[in-house]
Structure formats: structure tokens, C-alpha cells
Amino acid sequence: MIKTVKFGGSSLSDAGQFKKVAAIVRSDPERRFVVVSAPGKRFSGDEKITDLLYRCADLASQWEDFSAPFALIRDRYLAIEKDLGLIAAHMGPALDEIEKALASGLVTRDFVASRGEYLCARLMGAYLGVPMVDAAQLIRFREDGELDMDATMLYCAPLKDLPIAVIPGFYGAMPGGTVRTFSRGGSDITGAIIARAVGADVYENWTDVDGFMMADPRIVPEARIMHAVSYEELRELSYMGASVLHEESIFPVREARIPIHVRNTNRPEGGGTWIVNEGTLIKEHRHGIVAGISGRKGFTMITLTKDNLHKQVGFGYNLLKILDRHGISFESMPCGIDNLTIILNDADIKGKMDVLYHEIRTELKPDTVEIASSIALIATVGRGMARTVGVAARLFTALSEAGISSRIIDQSPKEMNLIVGVDQRDFEGAVRAIYRAFCE
């Protein structure tokens, strides 16, 4: 069996965490490909290495003094090197090269940000006594900036001949060799790509939590761990706010049917959460029909009313054209015979609401336009919901008993995801009510 393992920034924040990671890797010879993030926060108020690197890049691009944040970066890596006794890692000269490159003004922001993972991989490789393979030699992007999976698989092929290797996450290279990063949290994507490239049987993603919780523990302290969840369910939950994995990390392994096992570096004995294809979900790992509940605040509803709207050919199309003109995507668009509601993310419409309202009034000529802001959306997700009578009744009874009214209801055609919109002030109470209705 082959395992690709990825360790997040909290798992690599200091020398003590490095030792935990090394013990986990050495405890299982099947853990052959180790992907690392840049060191994260050590304590509340601390700064992530990646944030410091971005600050250095922004200052250097304006020819301003970046010595203060870079000194924090230098001290951090040198402390880990010293505490682990890693003279062979040569952190001092490597840091000098990066500082010189920053001062030259000739390096990109992506290159600077990628050095966090690069240096961390050098340290981990030296500590484990195994080769470090630069991600720029493995992960390839096309000219348009999109991942080139075919080229990446080709460049990663030689990895299979190595008994073990450490690989920095978060970045790869453009066709000309220029470093390009994924979006923040992108080391999860690197791990998934490497897992697929080497034909791993399992992709272990090690972090600082025991797995995915069935609800946000800040809202529901008693929330249980999801022991098993499908890729599709996780996509729905992640999009609505459940954040342990980067949502794009699912695609490479899902296509290859490689299960993801989310585990806690600080509690490796825990069972964690398995993310698998639907056909391999183990029913006994489910406490009920619901996989989890997640949600987000910050939405606006625009409701258009017009007599016989369902007969107005092109009405919805013209509404979407207005949104497209302003670069706005929509979250949901439920409709009735005489009305249509569209839900938009507040971040997308910031500063655009007045012109949107005017164009909708002018071009679509609805009888009324109602705008409701401060809306929160809550998704209740679970494959079992499609085959269970009374799910919606139980959900809305729970909200009613909690004194919460729903502003909007939307259910996916696959009946795997039931979304309700509530006033933001009711968000936490609604999540707790739904959790208790299905999970207790």
C-alpha cells in the first residue's frame, strides 16, 4: 500500500511539531510521499510564515523596507533548524538568497510566498534524512494559469521510483519555469495531485482537528465528528462554510477513487474522518441520515414579482445577463408562477446594488422589486435525505420550535442538500436547532 501524507501549517509550526510529524511518518513505512505546508501559528496572536512572506513581497514591490517581517521569518526557521540539530539544512544561506532576491525586485509575489513551503520541505527532508523534491519540478500550469494535469502526471512519474520523498505544497511552475501558487490552503491540492500521480491507496491529510465536525463547534460545542462522508457531500458542506480541506483538493483524488483520511497530528490515535466515493460509504459510520450542517452569513435576496412571470420567455435569461455584465454570480434562484428570487453574495454586489436595481427595473420591468439583506444560508446535507420521508418537516418543526422563521427554502434536484435562508441574527440558533433535530 502507498500513502501520500500532507501536513498543514499548524502541524509544522515549531520544532516540537516537526518531531510529531516525523514520528507519524516513521511509524508507517507505507507513508512514502510527504507534502508539507509552511509553518503556521504557534499560539494566538502569532503570524503564519505565508502571511509574513506576502508582507515582504508587497513591501519589496514598493521598494520599502521589508527587514522587520523578514527577520521574523529568519528567526523562525533558524530556531527550528537549531532545535532539531539540522546543520545540513543550511537555512542561513537559503534565507540569504531569498532576502537578496526580494531586494532585487525581480521576483514575483507567488515566488516569494512559495518559499515558506520550500524551506519547510528542506527542513523536513533533512530531519527525516530523505530527499526533498521541489514542487516546481512536478506541478505544472498552463499559460492561462490553470493546472496542466497531463503534464503534471508526466513530471511526477519518476517519484514512483523513490522509496520516500518530501515535497513542498502550494506551488508549481508555469511553462517557462516561473513559480505559480495555488490559492491559499493550496497545499491540500498538492497533496491530492501527488496522491493521484503516484497511485496512492490513501491520501492522509493531517491537521490540528480530529476531523470534520457535523456542525461548527463554535456554534454547537457538542457537535460530533463525521466518521465518513462522500466527496459530493463534502463539496456541499465546504462550499457553505465547513473548512478543513481546500475544496479543490477533492477533484484529483475523487477521479482516481482515492479515499482521503483527515487526521489530527496532535492526536494520531483518533479515527478522523474518511472521505470516500459514495459506493464505499460504511453505513455504520453514520449516526443518522444527515452528514452535516454548515452555513454562511452575508447574502442578499432580490425578489421580482410580475403577473404570469412563468410565461415571460427570456425573463430569467435577461436577469442573468444583467448579473453577468457586472461580473456577479448567484447562489440560488428559486421561482414561482408570479415571482422569482435570486440570492447574491454581499461581497459580489458591494457598491453595485443601486445600478443593479436600476437596470432590473428598466430592462425587466417587474411589477415589484423587494430587496432583503442580512440573510444567512444554512445547508443540511446528507445522501440519506433523498430516501427518507419527513426530513423537511423535521427541519422546519425544529426552526418553528426555536422561534425562527425561514425566509427562503431551496432543495437540490438530487435531494442531498436542503438550504434554508434565515435572518442573520437567527443564524446560530437555527444551526443549533437543526443539529439537535437530526444529530442528537
Give pLDDT tens digits for 382-427.
877 767 788 889 999 999 999 999 998 887 766 688 999 999 999 9
Q: What is the mean pLDDT of residues 344-370?
A: 95
Alpha-carbon distance 264 to 244, whole Å?
11
CB-count exposure of residue 373 (10 Å: 0-12, 13-18, 19+): middle
Alpha-carbon distance 149 to 87, whole Å?
37
Give bridge partners of residue 213 from the DSSP assignment: 225
Tell me, which fold does domain 292-439 have in CATH?
A: VC0802-like (3.30.2130)
CB-based contact 204:4 (threshold 8 Å): yes
CB-count exposure of residue 354 (10 Å: 0-12, 13-18, 19+): exposed
Q: Hey, do 3-208 and 292-439 end up sharing a CATH topology, with the first three levels equal?
A: no
Model confidence band, residue 283 (pLDDT cutoffs 50, 70, 90): low
Rounded to two decimals, what is the model's pTM? 0.87
Alpha-carbon distance 180 to 139, whole Å?
9
**CATH superfamily, with its number, for domain 3-208:** Acetylglutamate kinase-like (3.40.1160.10)
Q: Which residue has the higher pLDDT, 373 or 236?
A: 373
Cell of 352: 453595485
Give pLDDT tens digits for 215-271.
999 999 999 998 888 888 888 887 777 666 777 778 889 889 999 999 999 999 999
How distant, in Å, are the alpha carbons of 159, 247, 262 from that of 244?
27, 9, 9
pLDDT number for residue 336: 86
Averaged pLDDT score across all residues of the chain = 92
- The answer for 145, left when phi > 0, alpha when psi is -120 to 50, beta otherwise, is left
Cell of 43: 499560539
Alpha-carbon distance 80 to 120, whole Å?
10
pLDDT number for residue 286: 62
Give bridge partners of residue 36 from the DSSP assignment: 7, 168
- Alpha carbon 94 to its chain centroid, in Å, reads 30
Model confidence band, residue 149 (pLDDT cutoffs 50, 70, 90): very high
Domain ranges of the chain: 3-208, 292-439
